[in-house]
Chain A
Amino acid sequence: MRSAGEIARDVREGASSAGRELEIALSAIRARNDELNVFLYVDEAGARLAAQRVDEAVARGERTGPLAGVPVALKDNLCQRGIPTTCSSRILEGWRPPYNATVIDRLVAAGAVPVGKTNLDEFAMGSSTETSAFGPTRNPLDPTRVPGGSSGGSAAAVAADMTPLALGSDTGGSIRQPAALCGIVGVKPTYGLVSRYGLIAFASSLDQIGPLSRSVADAALLLEVIAGHDPRDSTSLPEPAPSLRDHLDDGVVGRRIGVVRELIDGADPEVVASVDRAAEVLRAAGAELVPLSIPELRLGLSAYYLIAPAEASSNLARFDGVRYGLRVDADDVAAMNEATRTAGFGAEVKRRIMLGTYALSAGYYDAYYGQALKVRTQMIEAFRRAYREVDLLLGATTPTVAFPFGSKTANPMSMYLSDVFTIPTNLAGEAAISVPFGVGEGGLPVGVQLLGPGRSEARLLAAGRVLELAEGRP
């Protein structure tokens, strides 16, 4: 498979065409989508039109963008004008947004071809795609196992070679965890680096859109395109997109990298072994590896499962049957609201809404939500102290390889533990990357995670590239 960068180059130079690249993607989707349930909607007509526009621009000798003719999969919580956008929920079934998410406008401006919408855990609440109202996605590497979540469809699209690139969103690990379980690269950018305009909100202070790709270089390419200030997102960082591709080969010479006990403890032995080997590779490449303990990270999971549901309970109040999506009729408006929400939301979404409502309710606000916000402060300060000693942190992305369907659905707490190593980055608003490195149980891929402070994407990608090269990936 050619990289996204190579595809764009071929399209620009006339060695291929956007139309041809699209047909390759569509035929890969047709070959396995029934089996894997990756795409909820494939926009063949829209994609053909977008590809045609790129090819016409190339034919006229116009400048085309860095993603010219590259097919891209979109997580189905990103609004695309006129295209069904469901969040994998019955409550939005049939809804077609009247506007594009900023990231989609940027993709198209860069010459990319959006091909369709991928499956996710309902409203991005889950770590396996098993909470999707439209059935789970299967892991392309072992269809008896989950692809991870919540961006499981986007990870599977890349892992199954349906599209070279995909967009996901990461609230507590929802890009990095499925990337790890599907053996691909996933980046959770610094909070505010990528506009959230048009991303249907789950937990607004944690959500961030980011790339999933086969290689670190492709992740850098896609992230450069989608990053940068957007006046339509008031939390967007007030600065232009950083230069990432120019720093891909910076290496790690002289970098201090902390190996964090709390981001390894409790992981499967093969996962621990992969992190140890990654540390050795980085050391051999010139980095100084420092063992670290950041005890505050242990509180991340508890704080997250108070803060994220609290924000979700507020964000999801908008789904009331009045303006869009499902309406279940009733005699008066309050009964209609309740009947609609009861019929439209699945069990996990109801659980999180209730958890958040409880954490925010009179008598419990200070003990739960208020405490969690203070823990968040402590987490930010703990990371800040660590980054005075080291440049980056290293750990596992997720405690296990891809797990079998149904193995964690009966006990929500066991599912939540899948995100124990990824959550701290979201709480701190910082950046992290998951890179496939080694294999675990059943020969399934393991992801190792590199974490950095806000705006450290160039450093993270360069370090990820060192690991990728050591694994023999070009």
Chain B
Amino acid sequence: MLRREDVAHVARLARLTLSDEELDLFTDQLAQVLEHASDVAALDLEGVEATAHPFGLVNVVRADEPQPSLDRDEVLAMAPDVEDGRFAVPRILGEDQ
């Protein structure tokens, strides 16, 4: 059974902040979906292979020839913050690290 603290844990993993009301609501709603999925979870599928992809195309690579890529200025023009031709972000490490 899905618990409120499970949902809080998953929200942390997914980098989402949930209010108390959202936590209650999502716990109920996600529990319903998982309840529906219990038919799948309960099956005995020992020996059945998993399919992650419908067709068996593997290791598709293009010819190793240089090709133009996206224009850097055009890409950076759409970024929230830019510095010296790069994406700028707030500090990554705390001041004491």
A residues in contact (CB < 8 Å) with B = 95-99, 191-192, 205, 231, 234-235, 237-238, 299, 301-303, 305-306, 313, 320-327, 329-339, 341-342, 345, 347, 350-351, 353-355, 357-358, 361, 367-368, 370-378, 380, 411-413, 416, 427-430, 454
Given contacts A192-B55, A302-B40, contact A327 B15 (CB under 8 A): no
Given contacts A98-B70, A332-B92, A361-B10, contact A350 B16 (CB under 8 A): yes
B55 / chain A contacts, CB cutoff of 8 Å:
191-192, 235, 237, 429, 454
Interface residues on chain B, size class: 35 or more
B89 / chain A contacts, CB cutoff of 8 Å:
322, 333, 336
Contact with A along B76-95 (1 / 0, CB 8 A): 00111100000101111010
Cβ-neighbour of A332 out of B36, B43, B94 (below 8 A): B94
Which are the 8 A-B pairs with shortest beta-carbon distances? A429-B54, A327-B80, A373-B50, A234-B60, A374-B45, A374-B48, A302-B40, A302-B37
Q: When chains A and B are docked, how far (Å) is the Cα of A313 from the Cα of B92?
A: 23
A337 / chain B contacts, CB cutoff of 8 Å:
15
B36–A413 CB distance below 8 A: yes
B81 / chain A contacts, CB cutoff of 8 Å:
327
B59 CB, min distance to chain A CBs, angstroms: 9
B17 / chain A contacts, CB cutoff of 8 Å:
338-339, 342
Contact with A along B8-44 (1 / 0, CB 8 A): 0011011111100010001001101110110111010
Cβ-neighbour of A299 out of B39, B50, B57, B87 (below 8 A): B39
Q: When chains A and B are docked, how far (Å) is the Cα of A325 from the Cα of B75?
A: 12
A350 / chain B contacts, CB cutoff of 8 Å:
14, 16, 18, 22, 26
B90–A234 CB distance below 8 A: no
B6 / chain A contacts, CB cutoff of 8 Å:
358
Chain A binding surface SS class? helix
Closest residue of chain B to A97 (Cβ to Cβ) is B78
B90–A192 CB distance below 8 A: no
B residues in contact (CB < 8 Å) with A = 2, 6-7, 10-11, 13-18, 22, 26, 29-30, 32-34, 36-37, 39-41, 43, 45, 48-55, 57, 60-62, 70-71, 74-75, 78-81, 87, 89-92, 94
Cβ-neighbour of B16 out of A353, A416, A429 (below 8 A): A353
Given contacts A191-B55, A322-B80, A331-B90, contact A374 B50 (CB under 8 A): yes
A301 / chain B contacts, CB cutoff of 8 Å:
36
Cβ-neighbour of B90 out of A191, A299, A332, A345 (below 8 A): A332
A373–B29 CB distance below 8 A: no
Given contacts A324-B78, A350-B16, A413-B33, contact A377 B51 (CB under 8 A): yes
Cβ-neighbour of B37 out of A238, A305, A323, A325 (below 8 A): A305
B48–A330 CB distance below 8 A: no
